[in-house]
Amino acid sequence: MIRLKNVTKYYNSENNVTLALNNINLEFFKGEFVAITGKSGSGKSTLMNVISGMDTYQDGEIFFEGMETSCFSKEDWENYRRDKISFIYQSYQLIDSYTALENVEAVMRIMGVENKKERRQKAMEILDKVGLKKRARQKASHLSSGQKQRLGIARALAKDTDIIIADEPTGNLDVENGAAVMKMLYELSKDKLVIVVTHNFEQVKEYATRKIRLFDGEVAEDVKLKPELYENGVWKEKEAIVPKERKKEHFFRQAVGFVRLNRKAQPHRTFFVFLFLTVSIAALFVMYGYLLSNMDDSVTKNASQDVFMNTDKNRILVRKPDGSPFTEKDYDTLMDVRYVHSINPYDLASEISCLHEANKDYQVHYQQSEYTSRKSITVNALDYSDFTCNAAGVEQELIAGKLPEKRYDVVVASDDESLIGTTTDIYFRSQNWPESIYIGGTFQITGIVNSELGQPYFSDLFLSGINFDYANKNLQIEYHVLKTITDSVDAKYNREELLDRRRDTILVEGEGLTGNQIRLSESLIMNLKTEDNSEDRVTTIERLYSQGTLIDKTDSENPVEYQVEVLEDGHNGSVNVVEASREFMEQVYGSMQETQISVYIDDYAYTDRVIDTLNEMGYQAVSVFRISADEYDSVLVQERMTALGISAGSLIVIFFLSVVVIYTIMKLKRKDFMILTSLGLKQKTILFMNRYELVTGSILSCVLLICVAIIAEKYQIFVISDLTKYYQVWDYGIVTVLAVLMSWITAELFHRHLRKFLGGKQ
């Protein structure tokens, strides 16, 4: 059945060569029970390894069933080990983490028994035969030496091969157990070739048909103990080669079965691998997010206010391609867009700075007229960073009270609820307006919003009243003042003088006005009256004519004049501001319908996504910040480059560090793979097992982490949501691919290591 011809094997170590087998010529037959003896180091184990296809040799040839094995491919050897050889070791070589039953079943899995029931039933029968039925559910590591070796025999039974090789199977057993094991081997040996290496020939004397003694790698003795079974040194019985039906294993199912078994058998290891995978993949997610957050280079630019005053990063300007006005339906559609936080239809108004905190945002100077009882104020704007926004956008942030409804209602950002019902002074100023013009006055506080918002929010009515394109209009109010002058020297006569006064102005919508009625601000009235004082006049009684003219000088060639009717009462707090009716304003500024609006998003990180969506929906959308950001800030650029470097570097480091650590964890299990290989599990399956274990583990980690990310984003969990907001669907995909790649590489490395470790014919 097996013939060795001049087989020679030596081990090369650094400075000497050990001849382990020297010119061995032997032939073994089916039915034989061969005892191999010899001193320690005489080459017995080497011979067994060579015969069983686990080790290579340098010279000679081994014939298996007449075939030269030197032409065996790697796969042939794998099949040979799987289908022809059962090996029983002195050190048992059991998978400690498996139960006795699982150890036997593992062999059956390798042999391609896929039916779980069949496997279990057969395995239990075999365990019963070797007297281990009661120990079936016990871990191999918890068995006694005798039980371990009986389990080793059970495995050989499960393999049911023609050749059984046992290398000192009783070496670690006491006499009683040793005898029992030998007896079992003998019972197995019918119609099989059994080769037993032993120190204690007495133990096998009873069963052995032949005894071979090795000495220094050579056959020193080859005795037929039962000569009646041989004829001219050849086994008498004709060798009937009946090829056994071998199941072809389904390598995918086999691998998955083993991975599941391993995971179950070693829960701690499974947990640890998964934990480590999750930690390293989480680190990948963090670094990738950090990288994403630094991708957009407009964050390194400073926004200029050349075009837009309000360069809020979350502001997206939306128009319709045909320039038509927005409708309620548009607003509803836009509000439904993901990441849209609020809509400000009063886009022009949102360019107007809002000054709400005295001495921080503005300073006020009071002025009492010499000539009238009126008192006016001028406001000196200090800070232009807050803009006029509508309260609809902060509805969710309302802590107490209600949203503003009336023109001069307001909600303020504060923690103090008692402010509701009180009043506050707020002023407005645009850098598009002529110097010294501002709007403002006293507002009634109707509600409180979260103090973090830091600024007031206004009613739609107020905003629509100032939502005009002031920048494109050059307006002047022309008015006549009648002065009655008493001469200072003799005071004898009065003189009346009609004076023309002109002022640059802007128009805002005022309450209770119709047609061409207008209302001048106190400051405007004072300014119109008090210009041109002469020292020599003692008393001046002045009166404004109730008729005036508003001149639109936008087109300086053809100014447009509007006759206006001036109401007696003025309004407080605005310089050079004329209040008019909506009707009149529309005449001057054109249509009131909003053709351009602002959409505010939850975070600047979503800019691209929202713009893409809006463009797909047929709107024209641009990020105001991006248009305005035109100047690189060298400090920010430096920071961004550093951040990009750190995140990309860390990504790579984490990637490879994880590969190394997981590889190290995997290495702890290499003995199990060695055992499975010697039982005949194929390399292809082992490689697939490792890939499958790590890849499914990392995909599971990714799924877990993505769930965490989604929850974190939904509930705005600190730090996590700061990163997840940069993630788009495909970014999660990319990290998952990275994680899979990481596990793949690890599996590949581990497999290489295994091949090196297993050496020989692997």
Tell me how far, at minimum, the Cβ of 40 lies from ligand ADP, in Å. 4
Residue 43 binds which of Mg ion, ligand ADP, none (CB < 5-8 A, kind-dependent): ligand ADP
Is the Cβ–Cβ distance between 553 and 559 less than 8 Å?
A: yes
From 24, 32, 33, 44, residue interacting with ligand ADP (rule: CB under 6 A): 44
Residues in region 3-42 near ligand ADP by CB under 6 A: 11, 13, 18, 20, 38, 40-42
CB of 38 to ligand ADP, least distance (A): 6
Residue with tokens 């002022």: 503
Q: How far apart are CA 223 and CA 376, in angstroms?
A: 130
In the block, residue with structure tokens 């016990």: 138
Q: Which is nearer to Mg ion, 45 or 52 (CB)?
A: 45
Q: Which is nearer to Mg ion, 55 or 347 (CB)?
A: 55
Q: How far is the CB of 79 from ligand ADP (least distance, A)?
A: 25
| Residue 280 contact, options Mg ion, ligand ADP, none, Cβ 5-8 Å cut-off depending on partner type | none
Q: How many alpha carbons fall within 13 Å on the CB side of residue 18?
A: 10
d(CA 505, CA 464): 19
State in angstroms the smallest separation of the CB of 661 from Mg ion: 36
Residue 691 touches which member of Mg ion, ligand ADP, none, C-beta under 5-8 Å by kind: none
Q: Which is nearer to ligand ADP, 46 or 390 (CB)?
A: 46
* Span 657-696, contacts to Mg ion by CB under 5 A: none
Question: What's phi and psi for 350, nearest 5 deg?
Answer: -75, -5
Choices 37-45, 256-264, 477-485, 749-757; region in contact with Mg ion by CB under 5 A:
37-45
189 binds, among ligand ADP, Mg ion, none (CB under 5 to 8 A by kind): none
73 binds, among Mg ion, ligand ADP, none (CB under 5 to 8 A by kind): none
Q: Indicate the residue whose CB is closest to Mg ion.
A: 45
Q: What's the min distance (Å) between Cβ of 188 and Mg ion? A: 21
At 432, is the secondary structure helix, strand, or coil?
coil
38 binds, among ligand ADP, Mg ion, none (CB under 5 to 8 A by kind): ligand ADP
Other beta carbons less than 10 A from residue 555's beta carbon:
9
Choosing from 22, 37, 46, 685, the residue that interacts with ligand ADP (CB under 6 A) is: 46
What is the closest distance, in whole angstroms, from the C-beta atom of residue 45 to Mg ion in the complex?
A: 3
Measured on CA atoms in the order 485, 488, 489, 490, is the torsion positive or negative?
A: positive
Number of residues in contact with ligand ADP, rule: CB under 6 A?
A: 12
Burial class (CB in 10 A: 0-12, 13-18, 19+), 232: exposed
Q: Which two tokens stand for residue 692?
A: 């499958």
**Closest distance between ligand ADP and the C-beta of residue 745, in Å?**
30
Residue bearing tokens 């529309």: 586
CA-to-CA dists, residue 446 to 396, 400, 482, angstroms = 15, 9, 43
Could you give the CA distance from residue 19 to residue 481 in angstroms, rounded to a whole number? 127
Structural contact between residues 293 and 744, judged by C-beta atoms closer than 8 angstroms: no
Q: Which is nearer to ligand ADP, 46 or 647 (CB)?
A: 46
Burial of 605 (0-12, 13-18, 19+ CB in 10 A): buried
For ligand ADP, the closer of residues 197 and 507 by Cβ is 197
Q: How far apart are CA 424 and CA 78, in angstroms?
A: 89
By the rule CB under 5 A, 161 interacts with Mg ion:
no
Taking CB within 5 to 8 Å according to partner kind, which of Mg ion, ligand ADP, none is near residue 46? ligand ADP
Question: How is 9-45 classified by DSSP, letter by letter?
Answer: EEEE-SS-EEEEEEEEEEEE-TT-EEEEEE-TTSSHH
Query: In this complex, which beta carbon is closest to ligand ADP, that of residue 43 or of residue 447?
Result: 43
Among 22, 37, 42, 45, binds Mg ion (CB under 5 A): 45
Cβ 216 to ligand ADP, closest distance in Å? Answer: 9
Q: Work out what residue 530 binds among ligand ADP, Mg ion, none; the CB cut-off runs from 5 to 8 Å by kind.
A: none
Q: How far is the CB of 219 from ligand ADP (least distance, A)?
A: 13
Give the CA distances from residue 229 to residues 29, 211, 224, 458, in Å, rounded to whole numbers and listed in that order. Answer: 11, 14, 9, 111
Q: List the one residue from 4, 7, 37, 43 that touches ligand ADP (CB under 6 A).
A: 43
The DSSP symbol for 637 reads H
The amino acid occupying position 67 is: M
Candidates 22, 37, 45, 523; binder of ligand ADP (CB under 6 A) is 45
Size of the site for Mg ion (CB under 5 A): 1
Q: What token pair was written down for 73? A: 């491919």
Give 18 or 324: the residue with its C-beta nearer to ligand ADP. Answer: 18
In angstroms, give the least distance from the CB of 42 to ligand ADP.
Answer: 4
* Listed ranges 39-47, 120-128, 473-481, 713-721: which one lies at the site for Mg ion (CB under 5 A): 39-47
**Exposure string for 108-130, b = 16+ CB within 10 A, e = fewer:** bbbbbbeeeeebbebbbebbebb
Task: Pick the stretch among 43-51, 60-68, 69-77, 115-123 that binds ligand ADP (CB under 6 A).
Answer: 43-51
Q: At what angle do helices 267-293 and 251-265 cross, to 10 degrees?
A: 100
How near is the Cβ of 214 to ligand ADP at its closest, in Å? Answer: 7
SS (H, E, C) 568-582: CCCECCCECEEEECH
Least CB distance to Mg ion at residue 171 (A): 9
In single-letter form, the type of residue at position 500 comes to: D
Q: What is the 3-state secondary structure (H, E, C) of 112-178?
A: CCCCHHHHHHHHHHHHHHCCCHHHCCCEHHHCCHHHHHHHHHHHHHHHCCCEEEEECCCCCCCHHHH
Site for ligand ADP in 138-157 (CB under 6 A): none
CB of 748 to ligand ADP, least distance (A): 27
- When asked if residue 558 is in the footprint of ligand ADP (CB under 6 A), the reply is no
315 and 348 Cβ atoms separated by less than 8 Å = no
For residue 55, the minimal CB distance to ligand ADP (Å) is: 9
Name the residues that contact Mg ion, by CB under 5 A. Answer: 45
Tell me which residues touch ligand ADP (CB under 6 A): 11, 13, 18, 20, 38, 40-46
